[in-house]
Chains A and B, each alone.
Chain A
Amino acid sequence: MLGTFRSELFKMTTTRAIKVLLGFAVFLPVVIFTLTLIYGFQDGVMGSPAVVNIASTAPLVALLLGVVGVMCATQEYSQGTIRITLVATPNRQRVYVAKLLTTLYLSIVSTAILLALCLSATQIVMTIRDGQFELIGNDARVLVSFFLMTTVVSIFGLSLGLIFKSGPGAISAVLLWPTIAEGMVFGLLSVATQKNVFRWAPIQNGFQLVSEFTMEDNNSWNVSLLLFVAFVAIFAAVGASLFMKRDA
């Protein structure tokens, strides 16, 4: 199992497209956040405002890591290496688990680096300004939610990749569903049923996990997490099932 995981991780880290995506996922939010930090905050004690700004980059990071998840599956099919992968490791369950672990590993490590850089930047700026930085209120929960959101969306991407097998199709789905399609579907359902069905939109619930405050119309953090994870779990189950059965 360890060999298969190492192999999958090596595959993912030896292609330029993945490196560029991971670079964007980590450094673009850091640059945006640091500029906001430098120009947007006053001196003094800083907690929630900084974390709220870090959290605001979460959807972007999650979607980019979702694309990384997609590529963990689809680049194998587009480049034909899936045949060699399955010849080297005929146990498809093992290959699936290795791909899942690789996606999780890349997602967690990227998010950890991003958060470490953002928090370090905050600390440095506050030190220069003779202020102080400490986590207050729901800050810790928001940061944990950041990890949850990025890892679950990356699994969503991997699952779509295994279902579609085609990069363009799966990437379109992972980007368009959360940003456009889900809003349209649940918006129309809300109009049709005259009820606020939108609050049950699964990926939007995932995005709400990183909110510092819960609005009255929104679900609680626990319900949001449950909806989000359950929705992605369905795709993960379908993706895994197809991967196990389908001819390579």
Chain B
Amino acid sequence: MIVVDRLTKTYGSKKAVDDLSFTVTPGRVTGFLGPNGSGKSTTMRCMLGLDAADTGSVTFDGKRYSELNQPLTHVGSLLDAGDAHKGRSARNHLRWIAMTHGFPESRVDEVLHQVGMSEVARTKVGKFSLGMRQRLGLAVALLGNPQTVILDEPANGLDPEGIRWTREVMRSLADAGRSVLVSSHQLVELSMVADDLIVIGQGKLISAGPISQFMTQHAKTWVRVVSPQFDALAALVIAQGGTVERTSEGGDFHSVTAIQIGEIASVNNIVLHELSPQTGSLEEAFLDATDASVEFRGESTSPTTDGGQ
């Protein structure tokens, strides 16, 4: 279990992490979300003792990272796939890390096999694609067969097969009772694997808890209805306080539940071809939750209409 307690980190006058507290529980995949510059990577670096926090603490099963004996057997991490010497082979990259803990070379070969890199074990890292480096980074994280895994953008640069494989690795680690904290901007992927979400913005906690709770709080919900008597139904629903948005096949009802619509239709003998509750995506919920704390925002990419010639 990871416990982050009132963590604060300042660079100059900028508070990168501001009084942040959350818990990552064993047996669950916890997604760590936030816009660019929100403090995710800084938090992860502070967790691992790479950056010194101003105040607060991070403990892994009750111990600070610096107090862990043989830390790689407790916590495995992937912070940046580029953290490898380009002139060293994949195997040698893992060997020097293994030497710090006295792991046998067979363990190096084992994790290389696990991440599907046995055939390129003696190839220099400089020749690897970003996806291959990600796999090597995952091999580093898994080297000590740790109880806790911290991954920063593990699927970045991976092909679809690699993304699915990463997802399966995270799921299997959590199913084996381990704590998995994963930061990612690939929200669709994250929604497929995460059990819990921690969302931060400008270094502060926005939301922490099960993904379903986050979706309930931040995702839009509506009811899709297709009916040959749509206009009649719409009038009745609006009278009950709902709102309607027409679509090509029917319409979307807001501020009213599917049960209410079903009952209205039943009482008024209105035929329904579709009545389905809809929930917005994790991406929409995330954007809604972090809208106020986005630090770097691009301009609209809509084409200009003033001629521009």
Contacts and interface: CB of A to CB of B under 8 A. Distances in A.
Interface stretch (B82-90, B241-249, B270-278): B82-90
Contact of B45 (A6, A15, A88, A248): A248
Interface bin, chain B: 20 to 34
B9 to A, nearest CB: 9
Given A17-B87, A83-B50, A90 B100 contact: no
Contact of A90 (B49, B87, B92): B49
Interface string B73-100: 0010101101111111100100111011
B140 interface: yes
A89 interface: yes
Contact of A10 (B71, B80, B96, B140): B96
A3 B102 contact: yes
Contacts of B88: 11, 14-15
A4 interface: yes
A86 B86 CA distance: 19
Interface string B20-60: 00000000000000000000000001001111100000000
A75 B83 CA distance: 11
Contacts of A17: 87
A245 B71 CA distance: 20
Contacts of B140: 84
A247 B65 CA distance: 15
B213 interface: no
Interface of A is mostly: helix
B66 interface: yes
A75 B100 contact: no
Given A17-B87, A80-B83, A81-B83, A248 B51 contact: yes
A7 B48 contact: no
Given A79-B83, A84-B83, A88-B72, A10 B48 contact: no
B66 A3 contact: no
B97 A79 contact: no
Interface of B: 45, 48-52, 65-66, 68, 71-72, 75, 77, 79-80, 82-89, 92, 95-97, 99-102, 140
Closest 5 pairs between A and B when the two form their complex, measured CB to CB: A80-B83, A7-B99, A247-B51, A248-B50, A88-B100
Interface of A: 3-4, 6-7, 10-11, 14-17, 75, 79-81, 83-91, 245, 247-248
Given A10-B96, A11-B85, A247-B50, 7 more contacts: A14-B96, A15-B87, A17-B87, A83-B50, A87-B75, A88-B100, A90-B65
